[in-house]
Amino acid sequence: MLKKFVFLSLITLTYTASIAQNITTPTYLDETKPVEQRVQDALSRMTLEEKVAMLHAQSKFSSAGVPRLGIPEFWTTDGPHGVRAEVKWDEWDQAGWTNDSIVAFPALTALAATWNKKMSWNYGKALGEEARYRKKDILLGPGINIYRTPLNGRNFEYMGEDPYLTSKMAVPYIQGVQSNGVATSVKHFAFNNQEMFRHTSNVKVDDRAMYEIYLPAFKAAVTEGDSWTIMGAYDKYKDQYSSQNQYLLNDILKGEWNYKGVVISDWGAVNNTEQAIKNGLDLEFGSWTNGLSAGTKNAYDNYYLAQPYLNLIKSGKVGTKELDDKVSRLLNLAYKTTMNKNKPFGSIASEEHKTVAKQVGEEGIVLLKNDKNILPIDLNKVKTIAVIGENAIKMMTVGGGSSSLKAKYEILPLDGIKSRFAKEAEVKFARGYVGDPRGEYNGVKSGQDLKDDRPADVLLNEAVDLAKKSDFVIFVGGLNKSDHQDAEGADRKSYGLPYNQDNLIAALTKANKNFAVVLVSGNAVAMPWVKDVPAIVQAWYLGSEAGHSLASVLSGDTNPSGKLPFTFPVKLEDNAAHRLGEYPGNKEELAAGKGKNQENPINISYNEGIFVGYRWHDTQKIKPQFSFGHGLSYTTFAFGKAKSDKTTMTQDDKITFTFTVKNTGRKAGAEVAQLYIADLKSSVPRPSKELKGFEKVFLNPGEEKEVSITIDKTALSFFDADKHSWVAEPGDFEALIGNASDNIQTKVKFTLQ
Ligand code: BGC
C-alpha cells in the first residue's frame, strides 16, 4: 500500500514538474526580462529562413513574423492623414471590406498651418487610435519632405518649407501615434521633393543645404520624436537609391544619429540585394510582384531581401552580421507594437476623433486677405449666399495616390455652409466650371457622379447671374486630387489654377463686390486676380469635417489663426528652385531624354542650396504674394517691445526673449508669435532670417499675455561642410519677433561670444 502511494506520488510530482517546465515562459516572451535579452533569445531560436522571412513583404502591406514562435506579422498602412482602406493581398485594389471606414483628418499642410504643437499631438493620438483599432502596427507617415517647388504633386502630404516648423510639428504627431503602440514611419528619407522622376533621378544637394534644410525634420523625428521606423525614398542620392543608401542610412541615420529603429523601403524602392543588405535597409516592401506570375511559388520569395539574400548567405558570399542586426531591430519593434501587451485597444470614428479633425481644420485654415473685413459673413446684412465652384461639391478624401481614404463621411463645403447659414440666409449653388467629374481614382470609388455636360459659357453665365443676385459670393475652387494636381506620382504642369478658374474668378469679381475666394489645395497657386478679390481663404484638404471647419471660419464661429507653412510666390520663376535650381531636372539631360527609365536617371541639382522658400525671397528681396508665416485674424493683436535676459551669451548659454502679445480687438482669437534669428555678420552667406521659435497664444478681447522663447547656440549655427559640423560664429545677432516672416514687430540685438 505504502509502496503504491509513494509510486503514485512520484508520478504526480514528476508530471507536475514537467508541466511547470513546459509553462515556464521562454525569455523572448517574458515581459519581466530586459528587451535586449528577449531579442537575443528570440534570435537564438530562429532559423536562417525564419530570419530572412522577416525582412520583406508577404503581401502589399504586411510582412511575416515567426509563426512557429508565435511572433506576429507586421501590418503597415498608409498614410499621413487617415488609415487607408484594406486592399487585396497582392493587389492595390480595395478588398471591399465594409468595416474599414475611418475619419479622414486634415492633410498635413493644414496641420502644419495650425502652428499648434498640442494640436499635432491630438492629431497623432487620434490617428494612432484609428490605426490601432484597425489592427495596424506601422502607420506610413508623417510625410516631412521639404516644400521646394509649388509644382510638387505631393506637397499636401508634407509640412511646408521650413525645417524648424516641420520638426516641431512632426514630433508631437509621432509621439501621439506611438502612444497607441503603433509605430510611425516618417517619410520619405530624404530628397523626394518632387514626384516627376521620383524613380529615375539622382539628387545633387550640397552638404550645407542637406543638413540645414532637408535633414533637420528627419533628425528631430528620430532623435526627439523617437519614430520607431523611417521610410526611405525612391530617388537616388550620390548615385545610390535612397532606400539602400550608404550615406543616408548608414553614415547619417544609423551613424551620426545613432538610430536604433527600422528602415523600411518605399514601396518598390529597392533595386539591388547587396546594397540592400549592406547599406542599412531593414524591411523591403512593394518590390515588383503581381502576386504569382514570377515563376516561383511565391513572388515575394524573389524580393531582394528574400531568396536572393538567403542564397548569398548559404553560398558563403555574405555573412549574417547584417541579418542579425536587421532582425534584432524588427524584434525590438515587435516588442513595442505587435507584442506590446500594454498598448490600448484604439477606437474608430469616435466623436473625439471628429472633433480633432474639425478643430485642426478650423485652426489650420489661413485667412490670406480680408479687405474691409468682409469676412466673417455678417448675417445682419447678408440674406442670400451664392456658393460657386466645383470644389464646393467634390469629395477630396478620395484620390491623390497612396493617401487616398475611405472616409466614413465627408462634409463637403457646400453642405457645411448650408448647415451653418441656411437658417438665416438662402444658400444657392452654381457649379461655374467642370474640372474633374470622375468619381474613381486608382480603383477607389468616391461614389460621386459629378458629370455635367453643359458648355463652359453656360456654366459661367449661370454662376455670374447667381453672383449678381446674391448678397455674398463664396467661390470654392483650387486644385483637386487628380493626376497633375495635388496627387502622387506626377507633378503639376503649371502654377496657375486649372480648368480656366481664373477666368471665372475674374468674372465674379465684376459681378459682386462681396466676394470671397476659398482655395482648396495643398499648394500655392498663381493669383492673377488677387487685387480684385477682397477676401481669400486658404482651406487646404480638411478631411471628413472639411465643410464644418470651413463654415465655422466663414461665419466667424471660429476666429482664423492659421499661418502659411510655405511661401506663395507671385509667379513660379520667383521660387528659388525654378530660378536657380534644376526643375524637373538638368536641362541638357532632359533634352537628351534622360529620366525616362531607371537605366538613364536624370540629375537634379539643388543649386539654390539653403535658399529655400522665405530664405530665398527675403535674401533676394523678391516680394511674395503671401509670405511664410502669414495669416490674418478677425481681431487685431499688438506685440510689446521684446527684451532679452542678457545681451551677451557664451557658447554654452541660453538666451530668453520675453514680450507681450495683446488682443486689441473685439473678438477672442489666437496669434502665432514667431521668432526669427538674423546673423548680422557672418563668414558665409546666410538667410536674412530663420525661424527658431514660435508660440501660439490664445487671447480674449483686451487680454495680454507674456511670451518667453528660449534658444541656445543651435539656433545661431550654420553647417560648416568642410568641418562637417555645426558652427555658431561669435558676433552680433538679432532676434526678430512678429506674426509673419514679413511682419516683424519687435527686435532685440545680442552678441555671441
Ligand atoms: C508611397 C509611400 C506609401 C507607399 C505605400 C508609395 O508609392 O511613396 O508614401 O506609403 O506607396 O502605399
- Please report the pLDDT score of residue 442 as a whole number: 72
pLDDT at residue 133, as a whole number: 98
Whole-number pLDDT of residue 6: 52
Q: Which atom of ligand 1 lies nearest, measured to the CA of 185? A: 10
356: in domain: no
Which residues' Cβ are closer than 6 Å to ligand 1? 78-79, 140, 187, 266-267, 402
Contacts of 320 (CB under 8 A, 6+ apart): 48, 51, 313
pLDDT band at 288 (very low <50, low <70, confident <90, very high): confident
283: CA distance to ligand 1 center in Å?
14
**Are residues 652 and 513 part of one domain?**
no
Residues 550 and 651 in one domain: no
Closest residue by Cα to atom 3, ligand 1, is: 402
Q: 272 with 376, same domain?
A: no
Whether the per-residue pLDDT at 291 is higher than 50: the answer is no
Integer Cα distance of 732 and 285 in angstroms: 50
Return the SS3 of 229: strand
Beta strands 444-445; 472-478: pairing state: unpaired
Contacts of 422 (CB under 8 A, 6+ apart): none
Q: Give yes or no: residues 162 and 237 share one domain.
A: yes
pLDDT of residue 655: 98
Indicate the residue type of 244. Q
What rounded mean pLDDT belongs to the chain? 95
How many Å lie between the centroid of ligand 1 and the Cα of residue 267? 6
Rounded to whole angstroms, how far apart are CA atoms 137 and 333? Answer: 9
Which of 544, 566, 588 is the endpoint of a domain? Answer: 566
- The answer to the question of residue 722 being in a domain is yes
- Angstrom distance (rounded) from CA 442 to CA 91: 11
In this structure, the answer to whether residues 510 and 647 fall within a common structural domain is: no
The structural domain count of the chain equals: 3
For residues 42-65, average pLDDT: 97
Last residue of a domain, one of 545, 566, 587: 566
What distance in angstroms lies between residue 280's CA and the mean position of ligand 1's atoms? 19
Task: Please tell me the distance between residue 47's alpha carbon and the centre of ligand 1 in angstroms.
Answer: 31
Q: Which domain holds residue 201?
A: 2-336
79 Cα nearest atom in ligand 1: 10
**Is the predicted pLDDT of residue 23 greater than 80, yes or no?**
no
What is d(CA 128, CA 347) in angstroms, rounded to the nearest whole number? Answer: 9
Q: Which residue among 283, 488, 491 is best mutated to probe the pocket of ligand 1, counting the most ligand atoms within 8 A of its Cβ?
A: 488
Compute the distance between CA of residue 116 and CA of residue 360 in angstroms, rounded to an integer. Answer: 9
Q: Are residues 314 and 374 in the same domain?
A: no
pLDDT for the residue numbered 17: 47
| Ligand 1 atom 7 nearest Cα | 267
Residues 647 and 730 in one domain: yes
660 shares its domain with 727: yes
Please tell me the residue having the least CA distance from ligand 1 atom 8.
266
Q: How many CB atoms lie within 10 A of CB 533?
A: 19
Per-residue pLDDT at 468: 98
Which has the closest alpha carbon to 552: 367, 386, 348?
367
Nearest Cα residue to 310 out of 672, 302, 214: 302
For 231-264, write each residue's pLDDT tens digit. Answer: 999 999 999 999 999 999 999 999 999 999 999 9
What pLDDT, on the 0 to 100 scale, is given for residue 490? 98
Pocket test for ligand 1, best of 61, 78, 156, 193 (most atoms within 8 A of CB): 78
Give me the pLDDT at residue 139, please.
98
Atom of ligand 1 nearest to the CA of 141: 10
Percent of all residues in the chain with a pLDDT value above 90, rounded to a whole number: 93
Give the span between the Cα atoms of 319 and 301, in whole angstroms. 20
In eight-state DSSP terms, residue 92 is S
Q: What was the pLDDT predicted at 292?
A: 45
Distance 564 CA to ligand 1 centre (A): 26
With residues binned 3-state (H G I as helix, E B as strand, rest as coil), the percentages for the chain, rounded to 5, are 35, 20, 45
Contacts of 696 (CB under 8 A, 6+ apart): 114, 115, 116, 561, 670, 671, 672, 673
pLDDT score recorded for residue 619: 97
Q: Which of 46-55, 142-151, 445-454, 616-625 has the lowest mean pLDDT?
A: 445-454
CA dist 395 and 448 (Å) reads: 8
User: What is d(CA 131, CA 150) in angstroms, rounded to the nearest whole number?
Assistant: 31
Q: Which long-range contacts does 51-54 make (Cβ < 8 Å, 24+ apart)?
A: 51/320, 51/323, 51/324, 51/327, 52/305, 52/306, 52/309, 52/310, 52/313, 52/323, 53/306, 54/283, 54/326, 54/327, 54/330
Q: Find the catalytic residue in 100, 162, 235, 266.
A: 266
* Percentage of the residues of the chain whose pLDDT score is greater than 70: 96
CA distance 634 to 614: 25
Beta strand extents in 294-407 (DSSP E only): 366-370, 384-388
**Does residue 403 fall inside a structural domain?**
yes
Dist. CA 599 → ligand 1 center (Å): 22
pLDDT at position 9 is 56
Q: What is the mean pLDDT of residues 681-708?
A: 98
Q: Same structural domain for residues 177 and 40?
A: yes
Residue nearest to atom 2 of ligand 1 (CA): 266
Average pLDDT, stretch 645-673? Answer: 98
User: Rounded to whole angstroms, how far apart are CA atoms 184 and 224?
Assistant: 13
Q: Which atom of ligand 1 is nearest to the CA of 234?
A: 8
Does pTM top 0.85 for this prediction? Answer: yes
Cβ proximity of 192 and 154 under 8 Å: yes
Residue 418 per-residue DSSP state: H
C-alpha cell read off for 307:
531568396
Backbone phi, then psi, for 395, in 5-degree steps?
-70, 135
CATH number, domain of 169, equals 3.20.20.300
**493: domain CATH number?**
3.40.50.1700
Which residue's CA lies nearest to atom 4 of ligand 1?
A: 267
Residue 279 has pLDDT above 70, yes or no: yes
Distance 77 CA to ligand 1 centre (A): 9
Q: Give yes or no: residues 329 and 395 share one domain.
A: no
Measured distance CA(153)–CA(648) in Å, rounded: 45
Q: Would 22 be classed as within a structural domain?
A: yes
Range list of H helices, 489-620:
501-511, 546-555, 576-579, 587-591, 614-620
Establish if 610 belongs to a structural domain: no
State the pLDDT at residue 289: 58
Mean pLDDT to the nearest integer, 644-671: 98
Kindly give the distance from the C-alpha atom of residue 188 to the centroid of ligand 1, in angstroms, as a whole number.
9
C-alpha torsion sign, points 609, 612, 615, 619: positive
pLDDT tens digits, 368-380? 999 999 999 999 9
Residue to mutate, 267, 288, 403, 444, ligand 1, most ligand atoms under 8 Å from C-beta: 267
Q: Which of 116, 90, 105 lies closest to 142 in space, CA to CA?
A: 105
In this structure, the answer to whether residues 302 and 370 fall within a common structural domain is no
Alpha carbon of residue 198 to chain centroid: 17
> Is 266 one of the catalytic residues?
yes
Please report whether residue 490 resides in a domain. Answer: yes
Give the separation between CA 643 and CA 174, rounded to whole angstroms.
34
pLDDT at 4 over 70: no
Question: Is residue 99 situated within a structural domain?
Answer: yes
Q: Which residues of 327-363 are buried (b: 16+ CB within 10 A; e: fewer)?
A: bbbbbbbbbbbbbeeebeebebbeeebbebbbbbbbb
Other Cβ atoms less than 10 A from the Cβ of 434: the count is 17
List 639's β-bridge partners, or say none: 661
User: Ligand 1: which of 196, 402, 442 to mutate, most ligand atoms within 8 Å of CB?
Assistant: 402
Give the residue, by CA position, lying nearest to ligand 1 atom 11.
267
Cβ atoms of 600 and 593 within 8 Å: the answer is yes
Average pLDDT for 391-403: 97
Antiparallel, parallel or unpaired: β 654-663 and 201-204 = unpaired
Specify whether 313 is located in the same domain as 395. no
